[in-house]
Amino acid sequence: MKITITGTGYVGIVTGVCLAEIGHTVTCYDIDKTRIKKLQDRIMPIFEPGLEEMVINNSERLSFISDYKEAYRDSEVVFICVGTPEKKDGSANLKYVYDAVQQVVECVKSDCTIVIKSTVPVGTGDNLDRVINQKNDTKRFEIVNNPEFLSQGTAINDTMNASRIVLGVNSAKAERILRNVYDGFRQKYVVTDRRSAEMIKYASNDFLALKISYINEIANLCDFIGANVEDVALGMGYDPRIGNRFLKAGIGYGGSCFPKDTKALHWLANFNDCELKTIKAAIDVNENQKIKLIKKARKYYDSFRGLTVAILGLTFKPGTDDLREAPSLQNIPILLEDGARVKVFDPIGMDNFKKIYPSEIEYCNCIEETLEDADICFILTEWPEIVTMDVSKFPFYMRNPIVLDGRNCFSLEAVEGKNFIYESIGRRVVGQSTQIKESILKSEKAG
């Protein structure tokens, strides 16, 4: 089939490449000409394992263009994969969705199926159907909601081997067309109406966000009562009614989906006079959790002024260069405002971070350089380079070896007796804090 993908972000480019992989002729369109030129030159605008290789392997069936008229003219199916950014009130901005659909309607030569992969409020598909089909006598448009459930870092596998393919359709014809589109994928379909499909996306993401915030609250209690949240999560996860995924305590969720989608659903509920207390709680817990390490650090330093702070990890999770809603974007401004010297290392995310902080912080080439002469270390992302590092490097390189691990990268046994303070999330503190605290006070007085 001739398929057009609108938007070449994570969802768009991965969807397009995977559809080309199973034999479709795919055109990826984006208004960003610079981005399209990079893709034409086989330069990936995002970091995603395996993506570049798949783009190259499918070059005969995969094209990238910035001319929307050419992109849509002969399309049988168009996937809308544009952003729905959060407005100030928490609602979703649908401008890019409506603009894209309008361009399809204007340019396509014959009947076309428009598939909404963007996360949109319930009722968007019905409204689009009503608006565009009432105005067109010569062409008929099937509107389908087909939410994505990919995760950055595993996006290709999540697409090719999806746990389910949700089809929100209002006609047998639309269902038949989408089944043909996905014929080469692992198929486990959930076929429903458009409104339910739109709700499935929000309900799924928000439930996972709830699960993360729940285990983080349990972790915070474990800090006070002396329990180990990892053992607690393990014991919970064996229960098949609960499951072990998304039960890893840390400093909160980030990325392009969970923060935006929880706020959008909360807004939608309020708009319909339906209070979602659990969603509001998940949002509040997550915002507080992101600065958990700052609060822990205050036990050792009243102020960060004049201190050297090492930051390991900038992206919201490993396996991606995405900084959206990453804890680093909340912690580093606080440290800078308080007068700290901030040194950072991230194997993938530093180029993107330089666009935000080009000169205010020091970008290091390795973990060792980051730790050198540091008074405290924050671990914000569990990159493999960090998880597998020799923990004896902390006391060797740091001036005052205090390590605050927001991702529980190391077992307590691995850091026991290694001559540094180690605080993680929901587990006991390891290290002689009184001895190091006295050393800090002496160095401050001497300075």
201 is in an annotated binding site: yes
Domain end (from 130, 165, 192):
192
Q: How far apart are CA 118 and CA 148, in angstroms?
A: 8
Its domain, for residue 100, covers 2-192
User: With bands split at pLDDT 50, 70 and 90, how would you rate the model's confidence at 444?
Assistant: low
260 is in an annotated binding site: yes
**Whether residue 157 has pLDDT greater than 80:** yes
Domain count, the chain: 2
84 is in an annotated binding site: yes
What is the Rg, in whole angstroms, of the alpha carbon atoms belonging to the chain? 24
Q: Are 269 and 231 in contact (CB under 8 A)?
A: no
- Tell which residue, 249, 222, 383, 404, has the closest CA to residue 316: 383
User: pLDDT by residue (tens digit) across 260-276?
Assistant: 999 999 999 999 999 99
120 and 60 within one domain? yes
303 and 230 within one domain? yes
290 and 187 within one domain? no
Q: Are 333 and 368 in contact (CB under 8 A)?
A: no
420 and 323 within one domain? yes
**Whether residue 1 has pLDDT greater than 50:** yes
Mean pLDDT (the chain) is 95
167 is in an annotated binding site: no
318 and 174 within one domain? no
442 and 297 within one domain? yes
Domain with residue 425: its CATH number is 3.40.50.720
Domain end (from 192, 219, 234):
192
The arithmetic mean of pLDDT across residues 332-359, rounded, is 98
Domain end (from 142, 176, 192):
192
328 and 184 within one domain? no
User: pLDDT by residue (tens digit) across 401-443?
Assistant: 999 999 999 999 999 999 999 999 999 999 965 445 555 554 5
394 and 383 within one domain? yes
116 and 99 within one domain? yes
250 is in an annotated binding site: yes
248 is in an annotated binding site: yes
Residue 137 has what pLDDT? 77
Name the residue with tokens 């989408």: 178
Instruction: Catalytic residue, from 81, 257, 364, 377: name it.
Output: 257
182 and 69 within one domain? yes
223 and 163 within one domain? no
Q: How far apart are CA 170 and CA 185, in angstroms?
A: 22
Q: How far apart are CA 17 and CA 157, in angstroms?
A: 12
User: pLDDT by residue (tens digit) across 55-86?
Assistant: 999 999 999 999 999 999 999 999 999 999 99
pTM over 0.75: yes
> How much of the chain, in percent, has pLDDT values that exceed 90?
92
218 and 176 within one domain? no
User: pLDDT by residue (tens digit) across 362-395?
Assistant: 999 999 999 999 999 999 999 999 999 999 999 9
The answer to whether residue 409 is catalytic is no
Residue 445 has what pLDDT? 47
The number of residues in the chain equals: 447
